[in-house]
């Protein structure tokens, strides 16, 4: 077959942040050499400079796909798999579905991937891209930490001031009270303390056409809106629990689901960043404390919300019979052995919301049973792969690197020591000459030999140091061994990893659990 080759070059912000040694021109040189060495026919190059690998919607990439459709090219070469993209799911789509369906050969030079060669490296594509995925996650954490520091220092860094406040036009990191909203905040606290339920508060505010925080926010930024909105218990509860209102600026109350998504979820309270006294108070401490106490006594089902929202398999579990989601809730139980424990149970949501109509059946199941089965399944799949594949190679390579480095360091230390010993011998020889034990001639000969030995040792030592430097240069800053180990043990697997590997989990009436993976098992 005659291959018409397109080369794809990409460099991005996250590569820059990590000092990735792969400028566009380096990538181009590498790929053009590969084409020459393999007698391939170069047709075109596609470049995305400064575009993140987490999205596949890139100008260069899109025009390359267009040329595939027009059959201008039938082979794509990149430096490594992460150049094509770091999003695991999209990557899998192109490499496993799109390219084969369009009869396009894909080669990642440095990873030894060639989709038209049947080698074990290809079986590992899905895992390679899972690594790439985790790698970006790591970077996106690093990039976020700069903002985090600002928050720690009590600077307000949000795009919009919290309800009741307004950004100081002289310093966007400082908040001032927005009196028209602050009045509502005080009223909400007063109503709650006087025993009005959250629902009751919502009804009152909605009926009085008081604008909800999200509508006020839109108006503050200049949108015109003739609606007032419907107050939700969640909004009211968030206001009642927000320590910002007693002057303690509270940030990081929400977080992004992950680096790919813009969706925000509630952050665990332990991760909030609270800067005491950083903003003016709207509520006094006593009122606030009283409201918190009232929340505590109202809560008798365990802290259901925050527990179930952090479940590893959240959003992936469905009812086999009716295909609706399985909902989870925490229950306090008294056991003889451990006293009070919180257990999480799931039920078919269709059943629990329409009990009276007799739709579906309970599908009651303990959450921990599902998680255990899913994780042990994943572990055994990983272990099947470990016997004959790239993961082993990656670990071995990492081991070889560490061993080699250790050997070189040891050697350098030994040579250093040798030099000291020779110098000592040289000194004692000189003393022997002074004491008349050896003649001047004998000393001279010995001295010349010592010098030769020292020179040889020093040369060897310098060679060692050079090798250490070269070795470090060749081995990038990713610790694959660590990533792979964690992957295999599934220690605290990130939810993003589970979501990239597992499509859905179905529970049937008899509590059987079916797992659907996103890759071929
Ligand atoms: Zn159901």
Please write down the HEC assignment for all residues of 271-320: HCEEECCCCCCCCCHHHHHHHHHHHHHHCCCCCHHHHHCCCCCCCCEEEC
Q: Which fold has domain 4-146?
A: Rossmann fold (3.40.50)
The confidence band for 433, taking pLDDT boundaries of 50, 70 and 90, is: confident
What's the pLDDT at 370? 93
Instruction: Compute, in angstroms, the gap from residue 176 CA to the centroid of ligand 1.
Output: 50
Instruction: Compute, in angstroms, the gap from residue 353 CA to the centroid of ligand 1.
Output: 10
Task: Compute the average pLDDT of residues 444-471.
Answer: 89
Separation CA 420–CA 424 (nearest Å): 6
The confidence band for 103, taking pLDDT boundaries of 50, 70 and 90, is: confident
Residue 103 and residue 115 in contact, taking contact as beta carbons nearer than 8 Å: no
Instruction: Compute, in angstroms, the gap from residue 360 CA to the centroid of ligand 1.
Output: 5
- In the chain, the percentage of residues whose pLDDT exceeds 90 is 19
The confidence band for 118, taking pLDDT boundaries of 50, 70 and 90, is: low
Instruction: Compute, in angstroms, the gap from residue 257 CA to the centroid of ligand 1.
Output: 27
Task: Compute the average pLDDT of residues 143-150.
Answer: 57
What's the pLDDT at 513? 92
Written as one string, the DSSP assignment of 475-521 is: S-S--HHHHHHHHHHTSS--HHHHHHHEEEEEE-TT--EEEEESS--
Instruction: Compute, in angstroms, the gap from residue 324 CA to the centroid of ligand 1.
Output: 6
Task: Compute the average pLDDT of residues 309-313.
Answer: 77
- Tokens representing 385? 């792969």
Q: What's the maximum distance between 2 C-alpha atoms anywhere in the chain?
A: 114
Pairs from 90-96 (Cβ < 8 Å, separation ≥ 24): 90/56, 91/125, 91/129, 91/132, 92/125, 92/126, 92/129, 92/518, 92/519, 94/56, 95/125, 95/129, 96/125, 96/126
For residue 352, pLDDT over 70 is answered with yes
What's the pLDDT at 111? 77
* Crossing angle (nearest 10°) for helices 480-489 and 390-434: 130
What's the pLDDT at 346? 92
Alpha helices in 153-303 (DSSP H): 179-193, 198-207, 213-220, 233-240, 285-298
Task: Compute the average pLDDT of residues 335-360.
Answer: 81
For residue 12, pLDDT over 90 is answered with no
Residue 169 DSSP SS3: coil
Instruction: Compute, in angstroms, the gap from residue 366 CA to the centroid of ligand 1.
Output: 16
Instruction: Compute, in angstroms, the gap from residue 87 CA to the centroid of ligand 1.
Output: 33
Task: Compute the average pLDDT of residues 96-110.
Answer: 84
Task: Compute the average pLDDT of residues 20-44.
Answer: 84
Instruction: Compute, in angstroms, the gap from residue 319 CA to the centroid of ligand 1.
Output: 5
Instruction: Compute, in angstroms, the gap from residue 515 CA to the centroid of ligand 1.
Output: 17
Compute the radius of gyration of the chain from its Cα atoms. Answer: 32
For residue 233, pLDDT over 90 is answered with no
Same fold, 4-146 and 153-298: no
Residue 353 and residue 292 in contact, taking contact as beta carbons nearer than 8 Å: no
What's the pLDDT at 478? 45
Residue 31 and residue 79 in contact, taking contact as beta carbons nearer than 8 Å: yes
For residue 215, pLDDT over 90 is answered with no
Instruction: Compute, in angstroms, the gap from residue 308 CA to the centroid of ligand 1.
Output: 19
Burial class (CB in 10 A: 0-12, 13-18, 19+), 426: middle
Instruction: Compute, in angstroms, the gap from residue 520 CA to the centroid of ligand 1.
Output: 27
Instruction: Compute, in angstroms, the gap from residue 326 CA to the centroid of ligand 1.
Output: 8
The confidence band for 298, taking pLDDT boundaries of 50, 70 and 90, is: low
Domain ranges of the chain: 4-146, 153-298, 390-488
Residues in the chain: 521
Instruction: Compute, in angstroms, the gap from residue 448 CA to the centroid of ligand 1.
Output: 91
Sign of the CA dihedral running 33, 34, 35, 40? positive
Calculate the dihedral angle through the C-alpha atoms of 122, 124, 126, 132, rounding to the nearest 10 degrees. Answer: -110
For residue 363, pLDDT over 70 is answered with yes
DSSP state of 49: E
The phi, psi pair for 317, rounded to 5°, reads: -105, 125
Task: Compute the average pLDDT of residues 304-331.
Answer: 80
What's the pLDDT at 410? 86
Instruction: Compute, in angstroms, the gap from residue 516 CA to the centroid of ligand 1.
Output: 18
Residue 18 DSSP SS3: coil
The confidence band for 125, taking pLDDT boundaries of 50, 70 and 90, is: low
Separation CA 94–CA 81 (nearest Å): 12
Instruction: Compute, in angstroms, the gap from residue 514 CA to the centroid of ligand 1.
Output: 15
Model confidence pLDDT, tens digit, residues 368-382: 999 989 888 887 777
Instruction: Compute, in angstroms, the gap from residue 349 CA to the centroid of ligand 1.
Output: 7
Q: Count other Cβ atoms within 10 Å, centred on residue 484.
A: 20
For residue 144, pLDDT over 60 is answered with no
Instruction: Compute, in angstroms, the gap from residue 507 CA to the centroid of ligand 1.
Output: 9
Q: Count other Cβ atoms within 10 Å, centred on residue 344.
A: 19
Model confidence pLDDT, tens digit, residues 487-498: 666 666 766 677
Pairs from 423-430 (Cβ < 8 Å, separation ≥ 24): 423/450, 423/454, 425/450, 426/450
Instruction: Compute, in angstroms, the gap from residue 503 CA to the centroid of ligand 1.
Output: 18
- Return the closest-CA partner of residue 227 out of 238, 219, 237: 219
For residue 245, pLDDT over 50 is answered with yes
The confidence band for 8, taking pLDDT boundaries of 50, 70 and 90, is: very high
Instruction: Compute, in angstroms, the gap from residue 505 CA to the centroid of ligand 1.
Output: 13
For residue 397, pLDDT over 50 is answered with yes
Query: For residues 397 and 445, which has the higher predicted lDDT (pLDDT)?
Result: 445
Task: Compute the average pLDDT of residues 202-216.
Answer: 86
Calculate the dihedral angle through the C-alpha atoms of 408, 412, 413, 415, rounding to the nearest 10 degrees. Answer: 130
What's the pLDDT at 357? 75
The phi, psi pair for 265, rounded to 5°, reads: -125, 165
> Cα separations (Å) of 300 from 294, 330, 332, 366?
12, 11, 8, 20
For residue 54, pLDDT over 80 is answered with no
The confidence band for 257, taking pLDDT boundaries of 50, 70 and 90, is: low
Instruction: Compute, in angstroms, the gap from residue 465 CA to the centroid of ligand 1.
Output: 66
265 Cβ partners below 8 Å, 6+ apart?
A: 254, 255, 257, 309
Instruction: Compute, in angstroms, the gap from residue 342 CA to the centroid of ligand 1.
Output: 24
Separation CA 102–CA 97 (nearest Å): 9
CATH of 153-298 given 3.90.1750.20, 3.10.20.740, 3.30.540.10, 3.40.50.1220: 3.90.1750.20
């Amino acid at each position: 077959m005659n291959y018409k080759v397109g080369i794809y070059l990409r460099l991005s912000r996250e590569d820059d942040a990590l000092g990735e040694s792969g400028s566009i021109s380096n990538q181009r040189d590498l790929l053009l050499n590969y084409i020459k060495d393999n007698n391939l026919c170069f047709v075109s190059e596609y470049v995305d400079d400064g575009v993140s690998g987490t999205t596949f919607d890139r100008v260069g990439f899109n025009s390359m796909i267009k040329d595939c459709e027009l059959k201008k090219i039938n082979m794509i070469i990149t430096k490594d798999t992460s150049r094509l993209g770091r999003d695991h799911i999209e990557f899998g789509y192109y490499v496993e579905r799109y390219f084969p369906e369009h009869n396009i050969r894909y080669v990642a030079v440095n990873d030894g991937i060639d989709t038209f060669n049947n080698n074990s490296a290809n079986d590992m594509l899905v895992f390679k891209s899972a690594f790439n995925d985790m790698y970006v996650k790591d970077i996106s954490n690093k990039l976020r930490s700069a903002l985090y520091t600002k928050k720690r220092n009590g600077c307000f860094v949000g795009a919009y001031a919290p309800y009741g406040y307004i950004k100081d036009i002289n310093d966007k990191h400082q908040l001032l009270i927005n009196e028209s909203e602050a009045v509502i905040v005080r009223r909400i606290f007063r109503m709650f303390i006087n025993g009005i339920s959250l629902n009751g508060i919502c009804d009152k505010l909605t009926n009085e056409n008081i604008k909800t925080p999200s509508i006020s926010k839109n108006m503050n930024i200049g949108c015109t809106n003739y609606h007032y909105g419907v107050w939700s218990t969640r909004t009211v509860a968030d206001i009642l629990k927000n320590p910002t209102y007693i002057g303690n600026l509270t940030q990081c109350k929400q977080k992004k689901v992950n680096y790919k998504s813009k969706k925000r979820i509630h952050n665990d309270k332990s991760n909030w960043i609270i800067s005491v006294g950083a903003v003016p108070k709207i509520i006094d401490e006593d009122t606030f404390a009283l409201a918190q106490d009232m929340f505590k006594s109202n809560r008798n089902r365990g802290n259901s919300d925050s527990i179930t929202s952090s479940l590893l398999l959240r959003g992936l579990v469905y009812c086999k019979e009716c295909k609706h989601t399985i909902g989870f809730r925490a229950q306090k139980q008294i056991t003889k052995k451990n006293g009070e424990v919180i257990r999480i149970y799931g039920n078919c949501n269709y059943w629990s919301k329409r009990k009276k109509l007799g739709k579906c059946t309970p599908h009651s199941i303990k959450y921990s049973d599902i998680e255990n089965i899913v994780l042990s399944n994943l572990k055994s799949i990983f272990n099947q792969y470990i016997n004959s594949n790239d993961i082993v190679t990656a670990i071995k390579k990492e081991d070889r690197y560490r061993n080699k480095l250790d050997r070189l360091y040891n050697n350098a230390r030994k040579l250093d020591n040798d030099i000291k010993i020779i110098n000592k011998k040289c000194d004692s020889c000189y003393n022997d000459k002074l004491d008349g034990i050896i003649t001047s001639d004998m000393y001279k000969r010995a001295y010349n030999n010592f010098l030769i030995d020292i020179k040889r040792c020093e040369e060897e030592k310098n060679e060692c140091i050079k090798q250490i430097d070269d070795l470090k240069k060749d081995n990038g800053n990713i610790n694959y061994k660590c990533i792979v180990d964690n992957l295999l043990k599934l220690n605290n697997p990130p939810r993003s990893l589970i979501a990239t590997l597992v499509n859905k989990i179905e529970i049937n009436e008899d509590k059987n659990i079916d797992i659907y993976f996103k890759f071929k098992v």
